[in-house]
Structure 1
């Protein structure tokens, strides 16, 4: 065998091993792709078809209405109320969570005694089951619950309310539950981001005479911009998907004051058997989520290019 023949044979074996390696990689990926395509994408296509039907989910011969469900949706005051509630809920909770999360991360980034314990306490609500949190806060907000008892004990009995039965404050009560549940997540991301801030910049600011507030505002906060964007957009998408605490604490009431898109979809599709209309509502939620995801990806791309 000549040297050229041996080299050709070795190259052939190398290509064969490379093809086998690629094939092995595809075999590992195929089960996940089957699940994603079969459950998510096929489900989305099927749901979009159902959204064009007047169907109760049981009738073997549903009526095709085309865009009738979407026209009904645009004229539905409950839909607009739910969308407004989601928007207000998202804006308030995201701003509060981000503010509290950053504040706690800044405080615990210093030499604080028992810092590990405080970090655990802040993060624990993130991993608690929403059902457990909802049951606890439902009791907490009762007219004879702990919150009103605390207000009475400190002489603020004039502020006592039936918190989740009063249309004027029920949404605020749900915001408080969400802030309690997810501030720890904001804290965790900010804590990780703060570890990437250059210590030399902070030292230079101190040498120049900048105080703590000025240093945080002018140096720390700008360097956390992508963390801000991530928390804002994931918070908005999370608000669109919020269902458990609303359904378990208020059920969307009283008087639709805490109705969300998710609870409205559940009531229409599952409780009222308006499956076609519920599917149209869910397609709107999907469209909003995709739009926000596209915005997030665009912002990340711009940040990398800058």
Structure 2
């Protein structure tokens, strides 16, 4: 067999002798330092602290093994926060999905001042919860505008102290969340609808499909990936929720709006039980990963069956 030219052999040997080229690595090094050196270090430190009976200040923490995790699994407030998270996720996801799809469908039709409507829908997204929390506390106070409007239209029997009773405080938080995040779902669904081929919609119209039939049989199946992505984001946001319940109700009344985020804060800062708060944080991380994996696997299964 004819031998390779010597120059080509030397070039191949040179390439094989340097399989690792650091040029690209240097570009991703800052991200690796941030994620590996800070995020994962903090997760590991949290896991270590979860095995301690520690107030976060004492130089001599006491090791308790898995006692903090056993305590969490027997804690009714912990299970109540999980239940609140599930209800919060289901209601807010359905609410913002229904409103987002309807608004996106309306603004994809021939509507005057569509750009103005888009701005109005998106404005709540850019408002900080710290700004909106006092507003919602005033709106839903016992003598607030919501009860005043209900009484003025003859629905005074519905008026009540919304934030002062366990049965309605969580509802107020979910209303606030839906109002504030519908703009995000609207933008996602509006963009996803723009990716559906117009020829498909025209063919459906020629076949006599109405607007609702097209929305249910063509548009929604075409946005399945967007729905799953939004569900995943909403689930993770619900698991780590802190700002809205803390600013509006501080987890009350009687733990009716306690979430994992607020409960972890309550245990770590006011109560000084850092070991137990760390165990709750690890459980929160496990739940977030499990939720994301479950939603992602469901999306893959649907893709296989198509």
* Partner Cα separation in structure 2 for residue 168 and residue 300 of structure 1: 34
* Long gaps (5+) in structure 2: none
Deviations 1:253-303 (A, max 9, x none): 001111111100000011100100001111111001111222344345446
Aligned residue number for residue 33 of structure 1: 32
* Long gaps (5+) in structure 1: none
Cα deviation for residue 144 of structure 1 reads: 2.1
Aligned residue number for residue 166 of structure 1: 165
Q: TM-score, normalised by structure 2?
A: 0.92
* Partner Cα separation in structure 1 for residue 70 and residue 34 of structure 2: 33
Aligned residue number for residue 250 of structure 1: 249
Report the 3-state secondary structure (helix = DSSP H, G, I; strand = E; otherwise coil) of the residue aligned with 1:186: helix
Report the 3-state secondary structure (helix = DSSP H, G, I; strand = E; otherwise coil) of the residue aligned with 1:272: coil
Cα deviation for residue 106 of structure 1 reads: 0.5
Aligned residue number for residue 175 of structure 2: 176
Aligned residue number for residue 138 of structure 1: 137
- Select between 205-214 and 86-95 the one with higher mean Cα deviation: 205-214
* Partner Cα separation in structure 2 for residue 24 and residue 303 of structure 1: 40
RMSD: 2.1
Deviations 1:199-244 (A, max 9, x none): 1121111111121111111111111111111111211111011110
| Aligned positions of 1:91-106 closer than 5 A | 91-106=90-105
Aligned residue number for residue 220 of structure 1: 219
**8 Å contact kept, 2:163–2:169:** yes
* Partner Cα separation in structure 2 for residue 300 and residue 214 of structure 1: 23
Q: TM-score, normalised by structure 1?
A: 0.92
* 1:87 corresponds to 2:86: yes
* Partner Cα separation in structure 1 for residue 290 and residue 202 of structure 2: 41
Aligned length: 301
| Aligned positions of 1:106-125 closer than 5 A | 106-125=105-124
Aligned residue number for residue 197 of structure 2: 198
* Partner Cα separation in structure 2 for residue 98 and residue 76 of structure 1: 33
**8 Å contact kept, 2:125–2:181:** yes
Cα deviation for residue 7 of structure 1 reads: 6.4
Aligned residue number for residue 260 of structure 1: 259
